[in-house]
Amino acid sequence: MKKELALKSTPQIVRTALMCIIAQVVAFSLWSYYNFQVASMPTIILAIFFVFIIVMILLFILVILMISNPRVMMEYDQNAIYIFKRKLGQEQVNFKDIVNVKATINIWAKPFLIYTALIIETDEKDFIIRNIDKIDEVRDMIKHLAFEIGEEK
């Protein structure tokens, strides 16, 4: 019987959506300040305007990608971990194949110590799982399952 191990991170989706909305508000404010005419904007303001437009588009794409992830990102049973990807389906990682499990910190999130990805290392392949809730707890659970319980078998 499989049990849930990791869920999609709803707070991360909300934060990214809020940043997208802020970028929209700033871009719209700049545009409306110059009477909705890009030609009347000074060069530096025009550059800032286009940066906010690009950031807004990238954040919107990121929100769509995060929303399209399955709600349950990882499950486990007594033998393996099952990783669910958007279109790739399901990948299985046996506990006996796991060499190391670590959570990485993005350079931008480093001051806040926010983990951004979970890496499960095996001899054949590294599995990188992003946008999951409570990465540090999931990492500790996988270590417990793979290294402590796995050694008992």
Mean pLDDT of the chain: 88
d(CA 29, CA 113) in angstroms, rounded, equals: 33
**pLDDT by residue (tens digit) across 28-56?**
999 999 998 989 999 999 999 999 999 99
Expressed in angstroms, the distance from the first to the final Cα of the chain is 18
Give percent of the chain with pLDDT exceeding 70.
91
CA–CA distances in Å: residue 114 to residues 65, 103, 110, 111: 20, 10, 7, 8
* 14-19 mean pLDDT: 92
- Cα–Cα distance, 84 to 7 (Å, whole number): 10
Beta strands 126-130 and 98-105 are unpaired
Q: What pTM value is reported for the model?
A: 0.79
